[in-house]
Structure 1
Amino acid sequence: MTPYGSFSFFFIIAILLTPTIVLGLQGKRFYHYNLLATLISLCIIFASNLQGVLALVLFTIWQVLLIIGYIKYRSKANGSTLFYVAVVLSILPLALSKLLPYFSQVNWIGFLGISYLTFKDTQIIMETRDGLIKKVPPLFQLLYFILFFPTISSGPIDRYRRFEKDIHRTIPKEEYRILVYEGINKIFLGFLYKYIIGYAINHFFIANLRFIAHSQFQHHLFYMYAYSFYLFFDFAGYSAFAIGVSYLMGIKSPENFNKPFMSRNIKDFWNRWHLSLSFWFRDYVYMRFVFWMTKKKWIKNRNVISNLGYVLLFLLMGLWHGLEMQYILYGIYHALLMVLYNSFERFNKKHRWWPHNKFTQVLATVITFHFVCFGFYLFSGELFNKGV
């Protein structure tokens, strides 16, 4: 059963989380029951996919052993070598699951949510290296973080230390009442976004574009804007569901969207779109690359290092979506935009060519919107679709 993909799923979750809500409204802790609810939910989600169940179990065992082993033995071996080995081994199942479909019809490694689980697991290893996580987490607590069912398929990507604080807190019943109210609001917002606005755009507009010849510029122009809005409302709706259900479980999962189409530049866009993913790549790819290059002093120009970091970040983000040409182009396109904007920003600080006022802010938002939509058009693969 696909998470948030049917009303049956919401009905089951409502029944399953009723004890959680009752306990929370009485000011009682519900951590242990939520562990059970997560296990039951995973059984429901993967009930019809035995291969997925097996892959999830083996993946979880692999990551847990890797995390515990790294935390225990990192001080007894070459720190850097062990760290790089641990990161590579953590990412290995995800990399294999992305590559295997190109060589086999059966992807025996992949399962629903493997990307987002990998991001969380790798993050624990990296934060252990940074000294932010100092001891091995309790086993059930670690499993709860990794397998937390509301966000398992598509995020948001939580951070372990933030998650840990939530599960150790005893939430006062007045505070939990507000959390339930906000969670239900999030769920209804998700219905509005995904099943009303997103569905309407896809069913009544995008589907009807087939009546416009695929060779016409008009077809591609309409598709570009329609797909951009559809992608936002569909994904933001899913995120609202995941965050809302998390709130009911006493976990304040991070937000994933912050009015991305109101961005004033491409850097601002990536601070508003799919926040948990973009921040993950920023913190664990871009910042580490910049720090590493600066430390090695192979390139002394910080602007060049920053631009190379953007290229690496967005190429990896594109390849993470898949090896198809549209994803690679999407990554290259956004890397190019970030490099160009980075150069423009430095130029404007020196020459004050672009003034800051209400008119230029509106103009910048409009320009950014069109560049973003073209990026989504590349991402959609419609450019390579030959039509009927």
Structure 2
Amino acid sequence: MAFSLYTAVFLISVIAVFFMVRKEARPLVLLLASISYIDHLNGRAVVVLFVTTAIVYAFGLLIQFFKDKNRNRVAGVCLFVCLFLLVFSLSFLKFSSRIPRFSNLIIPIGFSYYAFQAIGYIVDIYNGKIRAEKNIMFFALYMSFFPKFVSGPIEREEDFVAQVKELKSVRFLDEQRMSEAFGYILYGYFLKLVVADNLGALVTKLFNGYRDSGSLWLMLGSLSYTMQIYCDFAGYSALAVGVSRIFGINLVQNFTAPYMAVNISDFWRRWHRSLSMWLRDYVYIPLGGNRKGVLRQCINVSIVFILCGIWHGNGLNFLVWGMLHAIYSVIDVLIRKKKSNDKAKSTFSVVKGRVITFCCASFAWIFFGASGLKTAVEYCIAMFTAGNAGTTFIAEYNELCKETARTNFLLVFIAIVILMDVISYKKNKPFPVVLQDYACGVRYLIYYLMIIAIIVFGLYGPGYSASNFMYMNF
């Protein structure tokens, strides 16, 4: 949820109504609030959501009906038709910009996410993992819940609806839940407004002016984008979790200190976890997973990451980004097969693994963040060939510090983000949850400092410009 006066007023109003109405009406309040919020973002998105929800709801009941009658072939036909409609619609909207006749079509906000939810839902019904949801209000809320609608996480129907059915037991005066929710919201806005948005100015300058920048600056640009994209994505995820927690709904933790990963497989267990788990359960495992030999496993992994790249965008740069992660993952599979009998890793091996994984991810992000494949390739070539004397770099950096007082503060905030991730990694739980273990005074002091940072360096700082979360584009 982007920060705006509308968002603040909307959220306060929804919270007030949610806890004032009869407890049985709470799901309806959230559904109406979600429709209102989506309509505010884009009226066309509401129409697409309504049609998609109606189709998937109907097909879910049909598949369940025929499964109960042991008419698996008919259920399979229903599954195929529904999957075809969803996949075709998603593919067409993703690639319509490349078709002259449909170049003005834009994929509706949130469609990439709830389409994946819908696919998982009907596949799980067909496989007998869940039963079709008969309550259309619960199902519609699953598809449209406003904190996760724009950029996920991609939730499983059984987990989400089970919590919706228990909304009547949610108490407003639950200090633990509200403190966690408040912590998540502050943490999310800190990552987004203080770190990601401020890094964005430097990243935009370097990615647009890479021809005039030296190697050290381009390396700095790559590292800056690596942190920007993490703080942007993780910031939205934290906001979604925090807002949902107010209403007593727990969403998937999408990011769990991904840059602490010791290998690329570990990275994808920590980065955009709901997407990673979806690809694992509905693409990788159905293809055979790791059950049919190393060669087949490598092929399956490659297919997954190529699809992941295509899902993020129709440009060749996204395809190359996916292929790079496919190559990384295949190498990781082969290394782990070779060293499967090794003893516990040494500290040096762990540190080395983290550095290599971070560098590989950072290099791949260049293709993800560039405006096109040509730009990404030229950026990479310039990064290793442009040259830049250390003294020149330092002089230019000092000049940048004179232009904006934020530069040195930004380094401090990046260090704080890294420290938060280290603590989260050590404690094996999200940082806002870790804060609940601290004394009340310490916890609220940290909240206070984050509020000050958001006001001074984010929301009201000089030159601030609100920008959408990056994952809204997918």
TM over 0.5: yes
Say what the alpha-carbon RMSD is for the aligned residues: 2.5
Kept after mapping to 2: 8 A contact 1:310/1:339:
yes
Quickly say closer, same or farther: Cα 1:7–1:239, change in 2 above 3 A: farther
**Alignment partner, residue 42 of structure 1:** 38
User: Which whole-Å CA distance do the structure 1 matches of 2:77 and 2:52 have between them?
Assistant: 23
Deviation (angstroms), 1:214 = 4.3
Deviation (angstroms), 1:97 = 0.8
Q: Does 2:164 correspond to 1:167?
A: yes
Kept after mapping to 2: 8 A contact 1:224/1:376:
yes
User: Which whole-Å CA distance do the structure 1 matches of 2:137 and 2:158 have between them?
Assistant: 15
SS in 2 for 1:288: coil
**Alignment partner, residue 298 of structure 1:** none
User: Which whole-Å CA distance do the structure 2 matches of 1:206 and 1:136 have between them?
Assistant: 45
Kept after mapping to 1: 8 A contact 2:199/2:224:
yes
Kept after mapping to 1: 8 A contact 2:222/2:363:
yes
Quickly say closer, same or farther: Cα 1:16–1:89, change in 2 above 3 A: same
> Kindly, what percent of the aligned residue pairs are identical?
24
Name which of 243, 256, 266 aligns with 1:258: 256
Q: Does 2:359 correspond to 1:359?
A: no
Kept after mapping to 1: 8 A contact 2:60/2:132:
no
- Tell me which moved more, 177-186 or 221-230: 177-186
Name which of 105, 128, 133 aligns with 1:131: 128
Deviation (angstroms), 1:253 = 0.8
Quickly say closer, same or farther: Cα 1:277–1:211, change in 2 above 3 A: closer
| Residue pairs, 1:1-388, within 5 angstroms | 3-21=1-19, 30-46=26-42, 49=43, 51-74=44-67, 75-78=70-73, 79-103=75-99, 104-107=102-105, 110-169=107-166, 170-171=168-169, 173=171, 176-203=174-201, 205-209=202-206, 213-214=211-212, 216-290=214-288, 301-350=292-341, 352=342, 356-381=345-370, 384-385=374-375
Deviation (angstroms), 1:330 = 0.8
Quickly say closer, same or farther: Cα 1:225–1:315, change in 2 above 3 A: same
SS in 2 for 1:30: helix
Kept after mapping to 2: 8 A contact 1:94/1:118:
yes
Quickly say closer, same or farther: Cα 1:259–1:23, change in 2 above 3 A: farther
User: Which whole-Å CA distance do the structure 2 matches of 1:181 and 1:355 have between them?
Assistant: 38
- Tell me which moved more, 192-201 or 37-46: 37-46
SS in 2 for 1:271: helix
SS in 1 for 2:150: coil
Deviation (angstroms), 1:224 = 1.1
Deviation (angstroms), 1:347 = 0.9
User: Which whole-Å CA distance do the structure 2 matches of 1:349 and 1:55 have between them?
Assistant: 48
Quickly say closer, same or farther: Cα 1:129–1:214, change in 2 above 3 A: farther
Deviation (angstroms), 1:317 = 0.5
User: Which whole-Å CA distance do the structure 1 matches of 2:235 and 2:270 have between them?
Assistant: 15
User: Which whole-Å CA distance do the structure 1 matches of 2:349 and 2:61 have between them?
Assistant: 52
Quickly say closer, same or farther: Cα 1:71–1:91, change in 2 above 3 A: farther
Amino acid at match of 2:332: Y
Deviation (angstroms), 1:52 = 3.2
SS in 2 for 1:125: helix
Deviations 1:155-202 (A, max 9, x none): 011111111221122435388442222111111111100001111211
Amino acid at match of 2:52: F
Tell me the TM-score normalized by structure 1. 0.87
Deviation (angstroms), 1:207 = 4.1
Quickly say closer, same or farther: Cα 1:57–1:340, change in 2 above 3 A: same
Quickly say closer, same or farther: Cα 1:358–1:77, change in 2 above 3 A: closer
Kept after mapping to 2: 8 A contact 1:38/1:147:
yes
Quickly say closer, same or farther: Cα 1:45–1:207, change in 2 above 3 A: closer
Return 5+ residue gaps in structure 2 as ranges.
Answer: 380-474
Deviation (angstroms), 1:379 = 1.2
Deviation (angstroms), 1:215 = 6.6
SS in 2 for 1:134: coil
Amino acid at match of 1:94: L
Return 5+ residue gaps in structure 1 as ranges.
Answer: 295-300
User: Which whole-Å CA distance do the structure 2 matches of 1:69 and 1:356 have between them?
Assistant: 51
Quickly say closer, same or farther: Cα 1:211–1:330, change in 2 above 3 A: closer
Kept after mapping to 2: 8 A contact 1:67/1:121:
no
**Alignment partner, residue 297 of structure 1:** none
SS in 2 for 1:356: coil
Tell me the TM-score normalized by structure 2. 0.72
Deviations 1:92-140 (A, max 9, x none): 22111112121123217x3100010101111111111221212443111
User: Which whole-Å CA distance do the structure 2 matches of 1:236 and 1:266 have between them?
Assistant: 18
Kept after mapping to 2: 8 A contact 1:70/1:82:
yes
Quickly say closer, same or farther: Cα 1:85–1:29, change in 2 above 3 A: closer
SS in 1 for 2:155: coil
Deviation (angstroms), 1:65 = 2.6
Kept after mapping to 2: 8 A contact 1:227/1:376:
yes
Kept after mapping to 2: 8 A contact 1:29/1:171:
no
User: Which whole-Å CA distance do the structure 2 matches of 1:253 and 1:164 have between them?
Assistant: 11
